[in-house]
Amino acid sequence: MKTSWPTLAQEVFSCERCRLCQTRNHVVFGEGNLHAPLMLIGEGPGQQEDSTGRPFVGAAGQLLDKMLAAIGLAREQVYICNVVKCRPPHNRVPEPDEQAACMDYLRQQVALVRPRVIVCLGSTPTRALLGGQMRITRDRGVWQLKKGVWFMPTYHPAALLRDADKKRPAWTDFKAIRDKLNELGVYRQISGAEGPAGEEADGR
Ligand code: URA
């Protein structure tokens, strides 16, 4: 049976399914528009997310906000969460068993939001949702339709901060995301955009 947001949140906030519960300060559940056509999924909370309980609030999050703004969207208009809800120590990649323990929560979040488009930020969400055969450098920017939802794997914003050469392809992906939302007829619904949603949001 489909859960509800309060039931799911209660379950996640008291979760002890894996070892990450022992070192967390805050569970980072996810936030945003609970009916957003666009959902963005990261890897797991970093230090600032663990201190605040909010996803993508550190340097990578600030860049993500800017990238969303560049396609005419604010973070409140989309739904943002992570594969794992508790910070892995020293920001290591979450172990397969940690991801597996948390996967059901992510599935339930997707079922509740019912997004039309899911953006996988980096390798971890891309592999978790699209399969272990995925390679972010090879497969980013390529749409995949799964059970009626469009998936776009793209670079994690933290990767863009480490390697400026990734910024241009990531920008290409974000424009494709805006175009897909337009094509699906949901861009105006989220952005409240007046007039044609298009090149004016390209400003570089
Ligand atoms: N990196 C992530 O993958 N998620 C966050 O919430 C913050 C940084």
pLDDT means per 10 residues in the chain (204 residues)?
Answer: 94 98 98 98 98 98 98 98 98 98 98 98 98 98 98 98 98 98 94 55 36
Q: Is the CB–ligand 1 distance for residue 60 below 6 Å?
A: yes
Q: pLDDT tens-digit profile of 54-68?
A: 999 999 999 999 999
Q: How much is the pTM?
A: 0.94
Give CA 38 to chain center in angstroms. 9
Q: Is the CB–ligand 1 distance for residue 173 below 6 Å?
A: no
Ligand 1, atom nearest to 157 Cα: 1
Q: Is the CB–ligand 1 distance for residue 157 below 6 Å?
A: no
Residue 196 has a pLDDT of 44
Q: Is the CB–ligand 1 distance for residue 44 below 6 Å?
A: yes
Residue 197 has a pLDDT of 46
Distance from residue 121's CA to the centre of ligand 1 (Å):
9
Distance from residue 92's CA to the centre of ligand 1 (Å):
12
Q: Is the CB–ligand 1 distance for residue 43 below 6 Å?
A: yes
Q: Is the CB–ligand 1 distance for residue 49 below 6 Å?
A: yes
Q: Are 202 and 172 in contact (CB under 8 A)?
A: no
Angle between helices 96-113 and 5-13 (to 10 degrees): 160
CA–CA dist 122, 157 (Å, integer): 8
